[in-house]
Structure 1
Amino acid sequence: MSATIHRLTSREPSLEPMISLVTPGMNAVNAVILDRMQSDIPLIPELAGHLIAGGGKRMRPMLTLASAELLGYSGNRHHRLAAAVEFIHTATLLHDDVVDSSDLRRGRRTANIIWGNPASVLVGDFLFSRSFELMVEDGSLKVLKILSSASAIIAEGEVNQLTAVRKVDLSEERYLDIIGAKTAALFAAACRIAAVVAERGEGEEAALDAYGRNLGIAFQLVDDAIDYVSDAGTMGKDAGDDFREGKMTLPVILAYARGNDEERAFWKAAVTGHRNSDEDFIEAIRLVQASHSVDDTLARARHYGQRAIDAIGAFPSGKAKDAMVEAVEFAVARAF
């Protein structure tokens, strides 16, 4: 397993090259988002706007635009499709916060706390519908198939995760299936559709799909690791959310597997909801760090990050490729 990623520069990796690369396109994407979240029902744009304006990096639509730049695509179809990708993502966030009973996202109160669960679910449904309108307007059955399939896979991943909550014997294989569906599928689709609109072959589609998929897995592994080393300011959610919700993320799976009888008893009690105080969370942090479970989770993230970089190795060098490589480096480096 590769433990390190060869960096482009000696400075800390940044998302700035990607942001700079796609800024003109993102202005067009944001205009589509603003236009399509409007409704005669005032609550819809009010609630949707709260989440959309919440300070997220818009990583997924940026990947669509960057992939199009990598391919030298000069049209504008990808702007609306990138907006569709962001609507899918935003809808899943609204639904996730309801399922998880979350009260913070990126340091702000969640929509379900402000407006209630029914409104959050229904506005999420509205945004899903808007995303499909944008796909149909594009007119490509292939794009529609890629994004609709990703939407179904995300939903399956969320249900898989829901049925895995508070199960201390969750396998690493099932955990990877969950994050591959709930996170990586949309990263992969966001990249792949750029090759479709650029009318490239299956090989380039598959390469961009692999880039996005591996980046998505690395991204989620890092998120799951820094839940045990960080705070709400870094994470964009409360540190310990996964712990209190009984989610068996990879750091916990590894710590449980490596624990002695006493430590395993702690994890069983914690995951089933019987030990979830602040003191218990501090003990959980101690155990995942003492067992090197966070370190090993981050090593896996670097491995998948390297696979993402390797996937676009055959594309020509230039600003787009450099930005996409550094985006991977940034995703992994967030934990350090």
Structure 2
Amino acid sequence: MGVNENVRKPLDRLSAALSAEMEAVNALIRDRMSSRHAPRIPEVTAHLIEAGGKRLRPMLTLAAAKLLDYPGEYHIHLAATVEFIHTATLLHDDVVDESRQRRGRPTANLLWDNKSSVLVGDYLFARSFQLMVEPGNLRTLEILANASATIAEGEVLQLTAAQDLRTDEAVYLQVIRGKTAALFSAATEVGGVIAGAPAPQVQALFDYGDALGIAFQIVDDLLDYGGAAETIGKNIGDDFRERKLTLPVIKAVARADQAEREFWSRTIERGDQRDGDLDHALSLLARHGAMQAARTDALDWAGRAKTALQLLPEHPIRDMLSDLADFVVSRVA
């Protein structure tokens, strides 16, 4: 299982359709990440924000607003807010995970230090709250504030669940719904709210973002065991080395015999990892069909995302969002 390189067109089409709006978002981001008194803030922020990320989450906000013919400009502020929240969580995550690579480049905590990454992440969270207030819409403020709390909650839950072999698929789903899907669903939902969409359409946008985010994270977890380092922007096996119980491993543990369970207990729970352990982990995942089973789950969530779109108006953007759901799971072939 690896990355399918022939699946970039849906994202490219969406990016082209939203190019003017994304240019405005990027300009706002550059303006708001500046600091007169602490030059390290724009240095650290620019390292990550300008590292070639796809800006998927802010594009979802713009797409939702455009799909519903929003005539105003505050979707730009909300999209920038979403990107700031995302960037802040990445800075914090890399410190927690002691990561050394992000988007194919050294992490900010490696280039500077942990203190800089944490404090600049805090600054971006503060900036995000300044931005989300500016539209003057209490509901969008509530959605994004709640999402920020849910993301933090998901990360804390992962701390206790990720190295416990008793963690099952229900807990895993709770973790990824918090740390990943919450921002996807908030991004799409606020686009509908700022456009003044009726409640069923706003719910449909939330459901789309939630399912898309879950599919996205499952695929990311798959790629950690089966992607190319230069493509996924991190080292293969990082989740294994960081002792994270992701869906493929959870599925393999559920099917493990006593010897296999002892292997997982030694490497994941106790952190006693030796040469050849990653290769053995990969062989166990293959033996139990864990990778393919996880991909099937991702396909199911992508299908749920596409179903949610049926409640929204016919529009070229809706077709692109549907194709995007296929794209997310087509990253693994």
TM-score normalised by structure 1 residue count: 0.95
Quote the residue 1:122 is aligned against.
Answer: 119
1:31 aligned partner, one-letter code: A
Quote the residue 2:3 is aligned against.
Answer: none
Quote the residue 1:205 is aligned against.
Answer: 202
Query: Partners of 1:266 and 1:93 in 2: how far apart?
Result: 30
Quote the residue 1:252 is aligned against.
Answer: 249
Query: Partners of 1:335 and 1:70 in 2: how far apart?
Result: 28
1:22 to 3, 18, 24: 18
Query: Partners of 1:15 and 1:126 in 2: how far apart?
Result: 30
Shift of 1:227: 1.1
Q: Pairwise mapping of residues 13-162 of structure 1 onto structure 2 (< 5 A)?
A: 14-40=10-36, 41-162=38-159
Quote the residue 1:284 is aligned against.
Answer: 281
Shift of 1:140: 0.8
Cα RMSD after superposing both structures: 1.4
Deviation per CA, 1:57-111, whole angstroms, max 9, x where unpaired?
0110000011111111121110011000000000000000000000000110000
Q: Pairwise mapping of residues 161-200 of structure 1 onto structure 2 (< 5 A)?
A: 161-200=158-197
Shift of 1:165: 2.9
Q: Is the 8 A contact 1:298 1:332 kept in 2?
A: yes
Quick one: percent identity of the two aligned structures? 50
Range moving further from structure 2, 149-158 or 312-321: 312-321
Shift of 1:275: 4.1
Range moving further from structure 2, 217-226 or 266-275: 266-275
Range moving further from structure 2, 185-194 or 158-167: 158-167
TM-score normalised by structure 2 residue count: 0.95
2:77 aligned partner, one-letter code: R
1:266 aligns with 2:263: yes
1:318 aligns with 2:315: yes
Shift of 1:12: 7.3
1:167 aligned partner, one-letter code: D
Q: Is the 8 A contact 1:243 1:276 kept in 2?
A: no
Deviation per CA, 1:294-320, whole angstroms, max 9, x where unpaired?
101010000000000100112232310
Aligned length: 327
2:169 aligned partner, one-letter code: E
1:20 aligned partner, one-letter code: A
1:260 aligned partner, one-letter code: D
Shift of 1:182: 0.5
Query: Partners of 2:153 and 2:223 in 1: how far apart?
Result: 25
Query: Partners of 2:248 and 2:107 in 1: how far apart?
Result: 26
1:324 aligned partner, one-letter code: L
Range moving further from structure 2, 33-42 or 158-167: 158-167
Q: Is the 8 A contact 2:243 2:271 kept in 1?
A: no
What SS class does the counterpart of residue 56 from structure 1 fall into? coil
